[in-house]
Amino acid sequence: MLESFDNRTGVIWYNNRFVPWREACVHVLSHGLHYASAVFEGERVYDGVVFKLDDHTQRLHESAKMMGFTLPFDSETISRATYELLHRQGIKNGYVRPIAWRGSEMMAISAQRNTIHMAIAAWEWPSYFDPDTRKKGIRLGYTPWRRPPANTAPVHAKAAGLYMICTLSKHHVEKKGYDDALMLDHHGHIAESTGANIFFVINDALHTPIPDCFLDGITRQCVIDIAQRQGIDVCERVITPKDVESADAAFLTGTAVEVTPIASIETVRLKGHPLVDTLIEAFQAYVRQTCHHHKTCESVSL
Ligand code: PMP
């Protein structure tokens, strides 16, 4: 039997109160459920510290704004709630999921006067892909679903509705035995996977798609920064499925997947490149250093 996420012990922060995990419910007549008027975040906890919490909270505020609503809590409240939650749950290494959604006052397309609700849950979560798969590199397959153009959806919001095509895509490729789906944009150019950004190593340089119709991930931005500081060329450009054939290596970046090597994309096998291991290590070192710095600052201010 699959252990369900709604049947656990502990607490969830819900509209500024800690409620028992199993009682953190929404009503079936919630606008967020029917019309996908919900935004969320995914954050990782390393040794008791939420990596880039301020950036994630900022993105949550911006996602809400793009959806036409305002979060009912400021960043400081969200930050305090997150750490209190981690403390109560006793989580040192795990995942944090804040979510905000429109409530039930109006249950039609228009929802101008709906209350905005917000919850934060946290749980232990070691690795997105199982460690063996991850070490060998994951296998990606193409999905027929494409990222929508920027004038058809709020593509830079981490909004629930945009994940409809991600779940469809992931299911599509899982049936064929792949680990994740590679999504193209509306032009047929490579965009991202279902929950992470993608990079290629071509001629000793990093190449990554321009995030014009998908999230410019926080991990993506870190990896670009780390690479540039190491003197590695980073080229943001249009990348086509044909370009994949000339790539030596590729990897995904994201809060959940961290930096995960890709072994193949459909029939194209990627032989690998030492740059990928260098970046995996450099990213881990950066995470450790950032989290350690946060801890040190916290203890000074206490
Ligand atoms: N694209 C999608 C669709 C995602 O869900 C995520 C994960 N939030 C990313 C990219 C990577 O973003 P980040 O590095 O901020 O986690």
Task: Compute, in angstroms, the gap from residue 255 CA to the centroid of ligand 1.
Answer: 7
Cβ of 197 closer than 6 Å to ligand 1, yes or no, is yes
- In the block, which residue shows the tokens 């992470």? 196
Q: What is the pLDDT along the chain (302 residues), one digit of tens a residue?
A: 678 999 999 999 999 999 999 999 999 999 999 999 999 999 999 999 999 999 999 999 999 999 999 999 999 999 999 999 999 999 999 999 999 999 999 999 999 999 999 999 999 987 667 777 778 899 999 999 999 999 999 999 999 999 999 999 999 999 999 999 999 999 999 999 999 999 999 999 999 999 999 999 999 999 999 999 999 999 999 999 999 999 999 999 999 999 999 999 999 999 999 999 999 999 999 999 999 898 888 765 44
Cβ of 287 closer than 6 Å to ligand 1, yes or no, is no
Atom of ligand 1 nearest to the CA of 42: 8
Nearest alpha-carbon partner for 155 in 166, 141, 144:
166
Is residue 250 classed as helix, strand or coil in its secondary structure? strand
Cβ of 218 closer than 6 Å to ligand 1, yes or no, is yes
User: What's the CA gap between 176 and 99, in Å, rounded?
Assistant: 32
The pairing of strands 258-265 and 268-269 is antiparallel
Candidates 40, 58, 62, 158: which one to mutate for ligand 1, based on the most atoms within 8 Å of Cβ? Answer: 158
Nearest alpha-carbon partner for 203 in 276, 273, 271, 282:
273
Task: Compute, in angstroms, the gap from residue 259 CA to the centroid of ligand 1.
Answer: 12
> Can you give the pLDDT at residue 299?
60
- In the block, which residue shows the tokens 């040794």? 47
Positive or negative, the Cα torsion across 175, 181, 186, 188? negative
Instruction: Say which residues have a Cβ less than 8 Å from residue 265's Cβ, sequence separation at least 6.
Output: 139, 140, 141, 142, 182, 244, 250
User: What's the CA gap between 195 and 173, in Å, rounded?
Assistant: 14
Task: Compute, in angstroms, the gap from residue 105 CA to the centroid of ligand 1.
Answer: 31
User: What's the CA gap between 239 and 214, in Å, rounded?
Assistant: 14
Of the listed 158, 170, 176, 242, which one is catalytic?
158
**What is the model's pTM?**
0.96
Distance of CA 294 to the CA centre of its chain: 21
Which residue's CA lies nearest to atom 2 of ligand 1?
A: 195
Is residue 63 classed as helix, strand or coil in its secondary structure? helix
Distance of CA 128 to the CA centre of its chain: 11
Q: Is 242 a catalytic residue?
A: no
Task: Compute, in angstroms, the gap from residue 195 CA to the centroid of ligand 1.
Answer: 5
User: What's the CA gap between 131 and 202, in Å, rounded?
Assistant: 26
Cβ of 255 closer than 6 Å to ligand 1, yes or no, is yes
User: What's the CA gap between 84 and 92, in Å, rounded?
Assistant: 12
> Can you give the pLDDT at residue 302?
40
